[in-house]
Chain A
């Protein structure tokens, strides 16, 4: 598995790299599909594809690759970073041209994005990056026309698909057809007249469904008009709009099949159309229609009965059980206790004979408490402590081959934490007190960090949590562990030795009051060399990339404001803490996810399979956006 798959830091880094490749078309999302699960997935696949291309480019650069020297002086880090920025774009462009497209269209179902260069009748000329099409040929018979389809079909996994066509120029009779068709529809006649094609025609305003005899449907249209065409895969119906106005009545019903392409057809030379697949705002308020669809579906979900999920549990019971199980599974020991107590209190308030709260037996909680300690250390940014705890409580977990990447990321995180502290010192130059405090706290105790992050600043709970640890009767090894940690922490703060190149610090005004800051940078660089020594030989590109990414931090005087500032975000700790917790759970023979997580995954899987089977309401639901955020 890619080391960076779930890593927001590297996602941010790749976003930054992407910004340096302006030539590569960005992923576009039609406004009404912003909520779509399917589009979300396409977007992710697109990003992964680009990351892959970049990786390819990095491994096969046109010029000799900048090698990772064994001497990781700061100077080298600079060079490394510079090559990173300046050499890549060209290389990526190269590879992009050589590599095959994203993936098999049949499986990923991308959105239509332009007119097809091949799926068209002769005489049609495609202009302006595939958004415009003009007829330059001649038709001989009255029946003959020239039609064209888009590059991809409308994915029914979107639930609703909509596009608009602007009539830039219309021939004398205005014989223009706008609609959709399958690949089986011929292109030498207007869509609507052929089998498996449906369209609205401008000359008479008729709608045609797979036959040459149409029905009166809407007004005629001509030059300057904007015609919209939409298919609702849940209802199997199609509609049209003209200049932003919904044309009353459904144009077509019973549209059941998959593989339908937006399609237009023309008859007269000079006829010229522009299509909008969602790259630009639509004239019709399709967003509003989409919202209405979504709301009616969310409403029906609100009325759903959960009694069959785990009989005889009712909804509230199920919620309580899922939350309790999650808290225990994840090792949120204090929350689990507090929740049990709150629930108890709520129950007792209904009872005429209140019983005192019996805290749950904590015999089984030892693992949860251990995991909690490890998590807390990581969340506090104290990676050394987390490593110590892990090797003390679960000696072999991080040595396991399958957890090697987690171990690697923890070690990288330590470097990031050192640079974080350094950044804080840089930004806090006006307050010497902060400087001293911050540098002293680098090591076994990450609390100052917590206080900086307003969340917990005023709860005074941090002290509590630590106090509890001791009161709970820590084993003696705990104290030894702490002692050891302190020793190690102070060791890592020794003044820099001569062999460390201090390039970066020379960029800064050499004021003595910043010395501690420089010490810290030196310590970080020294640690960076250790990292290189331990992992530099790893042949995997993902490891090399991660190392490059984190070492690039050094290149910035104030990394927080740099393009890679996101790497330093404290949020990056959360992902690692979760992975470590998951690895320990698996090593204990427990499922790596809690029931609540599983319930989400089941819901997604069910929605996916249902949507793939025929669109339907499932396509409109996005578990993450609808239920896991405001």
Chain B
């Protein structure tokens, strides 16, 4: 599919940052391509409501299987909410092969489960100063679920040791590397891995194209600067009103979603 609507030969002979801006103006991706990349993102990363509305507003084909998007969203919500056993159950309902063929992912889920158990103990009323017996459920889970896997891979073993250490350090004395384990962003990270694995198990692309597109923008700038192409010192992506050069008014009226 062609991205350029018109590029005269003259464009390639112009030089300088001003001509770069003009060249950008001359190149316009087709809206249907952009709409495609947005739909791809909404489906891939699980935004079912927006995907449905977008199909309506663009007259585009609806996502083939909205229910499968919602299924992935339910798993994501379970992981984000710390309900790991629930998430594992849902993943296995979709396809038990997913975790069987992704031992690392399975381990990450189990590790997260252990972390959630520890987090619950630490945040319990007596959590500020838990006594050893409070940790019994965590130790039980670790010995039953995680320690049999540890010997298969040194990284598992190290991860398990670090997770178990959460029970030893008082929260206020934890170093950043341990605090990381208790950060909810870890849930987000694991949820992302699960989403990819589910997509792959269905033979779908596991990463939304828009991410690659943005990286391509960053990569292209690096290549251009390395080749000493004349570019403005900073090329803004155009999200900020002041980026809009030559515009009569600002673009701030556009910001509907904050």
Contacts and interface: CB of A to CB of B under 8 A. Distances in A.
Interface of A: 5-6, 40-41, 44, 103-104, 107-108, 298, 300-306, 308-310, 315, 318-319, 321-330, 332-343, 346, 349-351, 360, 362, 364-365, 367-368, 372, 375-376, 379, 450, 453-456, 459, 461-462, 465, 570-571, 573-574, 578, 588-591, 593-610, 612-614, 616-618, 621-630
B interface, how many residues as a size bin? Answer: 35 or more
Contact of A625 (B1, B40, B188, B235): B1
A367 B227 contact: no
B202 interface: no
Contacts of A365: 256
A604 B55 contact: no
A325 B9 contact: no
Contacts of A107: 9-10, 12-13
Given A604-B4, A613-B227, A338 B212 contact: no
B227 A350 contact: no
Given A350-B80, A590-B249, A610-B224, A339 B47 contact: yes
14 contacts: A309-B217, A318-B214, A327-B54, A330-B31, A337-B256, A342-B50, A368-B256, A578-B31, A590-B253, A600-B217, A605-B24, A621-B220, A625-B1, A627-B212
Contact of B6 (A5, A596, A598, A625): A5
Nearest to B213: A627
Interface string B239-256: 100011001110101111
A351 B80 CA distance: 8
A334 B57 contact: yes
Interface stretch (B96-104, B146-154, B155-163, B203-211): B203-211
Given A360-B256, A598-B24, A609 B4 contact: no
Contact of A338 (B32, B52, B230, B238): B52
Given A327-B257, A455-B59, A604-B27, 9 more contacts: A309-B217, A325-B257, A454-B61, A602-B220, A604-B4, A606-B224, A616-B223, A616-B227, A624-B3
A554 to B, nearest CB: 26
A548 B157 CA distance: 75
B49 A341 contact: yes
A340 B257 contact: yes
Contacts of A618: 220, 223-224, 227
A588 B230 CA distance: 32
A13 to B, nearest CB: 17
A41 B216 contact: no
Interface in B161-193: 184-185, 187-188
B64 to A, nearest CB: 11
Contacts of A5: 5-6
B34 A459 contact: no
Nearest to B27: A601
Interface string B219-242: 111111001111100011111000
Most buried by A among B221, B239, B248: B239
A336 B27 contact: no
Contacts of B218: 304-306, 308-309
Contacts of A334: 53, 56-57
Contacts of A342: 47-50
A604 B257 contact: no
A574 B57 CA distance: 11
A71 B56 CA distance: 42
Contacts of B108: none
B3 A604 contact: yes
Contact of A322 (B62, B214, B236): B214
B12 A306 contact: no
Contacts of A594: 34, 238, 254
A315 to B, nearest CB: 6
A72 to B, nearest CB: 32
B22 to A, nearest CB: 9
Nearest to B59: A379
Contacts of A350: 80-81, 184-185, 187-188
A334 B58 CA distance: 11
A590 B223 contact: no
A339 B188 CA distance: 18
Contacts of A322: 210, 214, 237, 239
A262 B182 CA distance: 63
Considering the complex of A and B, which 9 residue pairs feature the smallest CB-CB distances, nearest first?
A: A589-B248, A589-B249, A107-B9, A624-B3, A324-B257, A349-B80, A339-B50, A595-B238, A628-B33
Contacts of A349: 76-77, 80-81
B212 A302 contact: yes
Contact of B23 (A327, A590, A608): A608
B114 to A, nearest CB: 19
B141 interface: no
B247 A589 contact: yes
A455 B60 contact: yes
Nearest to B23: A605
Most buried by A among B10, B235, B257: B257
Contacts of A327: 38, 54, 256-257
A461 B56 contact: yes
Given A326-B34, A605-B24, A335 B62 contact: no
A613 B228 contact: yes
Contacts of B30: 6, 624
A323 B38 contact: yes
A591 B23 contact: no
Contacts of A578: 31
Interface in B47-92: 47-50, 52-62, 76-77, 80-81
Contact of B237 (A309, A328, A332): A309
Most buried by A among B59, B205, B253: B59
Contacts of B187: 350
B216 A328 contact: no
Most buried by A among B57, B235, B254: B254
Contact of A623 (B29, B55, B239): B29
A606 B223 contact: yes
